[in-house]
């Protein structure tokens, strides 16, 4: 029942995000073209990109809740970090081209925008983005969902973009009042380039974390250290001749393989082997949660 509630909250958060991206993508692209602002157009493009990725994340949330089947015999957990990597790459590429566009516009002398409409858009977008960000952050923490957490980071990026755009347009108003209106044409492209650099920080973090999972890099955290401690203690207590273990995290699932070398066949009965498996599970269940656990016993060191 708890798992069902978690999946339900996760899907609700992603559906809310999808509805928000549809609204803001249309608003941002339409307003950007109408008022002639590349900064607003960039903000709308971020929302449009998020719309596709949120839909994909929603489908992924459905997939990873499914049990293993004949095609995916290890389950669907590995799809989650893969989607997050694609998501991060697309955002990073968008940031790169936005930065180039802003620099080119500055070199060409900038361009003017319709200020009144631009400020209205910036206020609406900022409020909506931060509202959805806080809602998703709360849900991500309550259900421990990496998908929702990554999606919330996109809303944070979008909210920062919108807030910075709003500040930029306020600066344009101040420049007009102070008699420096000739610099107004450069505000929009400067905003685009600056925001593209700032927005690239979050997808880089997402890529770094999820690429480790895609490449099956062992997690260097408290869970890894707890696994090491428990297996080492059981080895001393039950006199393993030797052992090896392999540990990885893929999406919301941990994979733990333990290979134990035994010598005394009479001592290591099937019942005792199952007892060790149960001990490992009981000791690590709280830290590992949904885990693919494999414990093998062998009399030959070559199989460690």
**How confident is the model over 17-65, as pLDDT tens digits?**
888 888 888 888 887 788 777 777 777 777 777 667 667 766 776 776 6
Expressed as residue numbers, the domain containing 275 is 222-303
The H or E element spanning position 25 is: helix 2-35
Residues 156 and 239 in one domain: no
One-letter-per-residue 3-state SS of 156-169: HHHHHHHHHHHHHH
pLDDT at 90 over 90: no
Does 232 lie in the same domain as 207?
no
Residue with tokens 């259900």: 143
Over residues 279-302, mean pLDDT: 84
Average pLDDT over residues 181-193: 78
Q: CATH no. for residue 285?
A: 3.30.70.1350
pLDDT at 225 over 70: yes
The three-state secondary structure class of 216 is: coil
Same domain, 121 and 263: no
Q: Are residues 34 and 145 in the same domain?
A: yes
Residue 284: closest CA among 271, 273, 294, 270: 294
* pLDDT score of 176 more than 80: no
Domain total of the chain: 2
Q: Are residues 180 and 259 in the same domain?
A: no
% of the chain surpassing 70 pLDDT: 90
**What is the C-alpha separation between 103 and 81, in angstroms, rounded?**
33
Q: Is the pLDDT of residue 131 over 80?
A: yes
Pairing state between β 291-298 and 242-250: unpaired
Task: Identify which of 177, 175, 196, 197 has the alpha carbon closest to the alpha carbon of residue 186.
Answer: 175
Q: Hunting for tokens 């060409």 — which residue is that?
A: 108
Domain boundary among 214, 241, 259: 214
**Are 179 and 46 within one domain?**
yes
Q: Which two tokens stand for residue 83?
A: 């989607």
Among the listed residues 29, 86, 25, the one whose alpha carbon sits nearest the alpha carbon of residue 57: 86
State the SS3 of 77-144: CCHHHHHHHHHHHHHHHHHHHHHHHHHHHHHCCCCCCCHHHHHHHHHHHHHHHHHHHHHHHHHHHHHC
Smallest Cα–Cα separation from 131: which of 16, 44, 278, 225? 16
pTM higher than the cut 0.85: no
- Under a CB-based contact definition with an 8 Å cutoff, are residues 188 and 39 in contact? yes
- Final residue in a domain of this structure, among 165, 185, 214: 214
Residues 235 and 286 in one domain: yes
Same domain, 170 and 244: no
pLDDT of residue 130: 92
Q: Are residues 111 and 36 in the same domain?
A: yes
- Cβ atoms within 10 Å, residue 138: 14
Residue 246 β-bridge partners: 257
Are 278 and 141 part of one and the same domain? no
Question: Could you tell me if 210 and 164 lie in one domain?
Answer: yes
pLDDT band at 10 (very low <50, low <70, confident <90, very high): confident
27 and 125 inside one domain: yes
Residue whose token pair is 């250290």: 225
Asked if 291 and 245 count as a contact pair (C-beta separation under 8 A), the reply is: no
Say how far apart CA 184 and CA 178 lie, in whole Å. Answer: 12
Question: What is the pLDDT, as a whole number, of residue 3?
Answer: 52
Domain-terminating residue out of 184, 214, 244:
214
Q: Please report, for the domain that includes residue 49, its CATH number.
A: 1.20.1510.10
């Amino acid at each position: 029942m708890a798992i069902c509630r978690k999946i339900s909250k996760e899907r609700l958060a992603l559906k809310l995000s999808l509805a928000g991206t549809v609204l803001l993508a249309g608003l941002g692209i339409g307003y950007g073209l109408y008022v002639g602002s590349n900064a607003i157009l960039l903000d709308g493009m971020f929302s449009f990109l998020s719309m596709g990725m949120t839909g994909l994340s929603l489908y992924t949330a459905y997939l990873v809740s499914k049990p293993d089947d004949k095609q995916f015999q290890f389950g669907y957990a590995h799809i989650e970090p893969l989607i997050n990597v694609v998501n991060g790459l697309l955002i990073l590429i968008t940031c790169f081209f936005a930065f180039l566009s802003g620099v080119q516009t500055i070199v060409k002398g900038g361009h003017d925008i319709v200020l009144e409409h631009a400020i209205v858009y910036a206020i609406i977008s900022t409020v909506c983005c931060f509202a959805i960000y806080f809602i998703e952050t709360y849900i991500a923490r309550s259900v421990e969902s990496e998908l929702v957490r990554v999606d919330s980071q996109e809303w944070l990026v979008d909210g920062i973009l919108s807030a910075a755009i709003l500040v930029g347009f306020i600066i344009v108003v101040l420049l007009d009042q102070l008699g420096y209106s000739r610099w107004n044409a450069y505000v929009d492209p400067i905003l685009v380039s600056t925001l593209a650099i700032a927005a690239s920080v979050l997808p880089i973090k997402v890529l770094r974390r999820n690429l480790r999972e895609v490449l099956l890099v062992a997690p260097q955290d408290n869970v890894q250290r707890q696994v090491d401690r428990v297996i080492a203690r059981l080895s001393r207590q039950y006199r393993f001749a030797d052992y090896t273990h392999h540990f990885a995290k893929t999406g919301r699932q941990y994979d733990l393989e333990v290979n134990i070398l035994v010598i005394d066949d009479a001592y290591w009965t099937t019942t005792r082997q199952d007892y060790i498996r149960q001990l490992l599970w009981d000791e690590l269940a709280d830290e590992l949660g949904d885990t693919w656990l494999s414990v093998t016993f062998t009399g030959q060191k070559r199989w460690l």
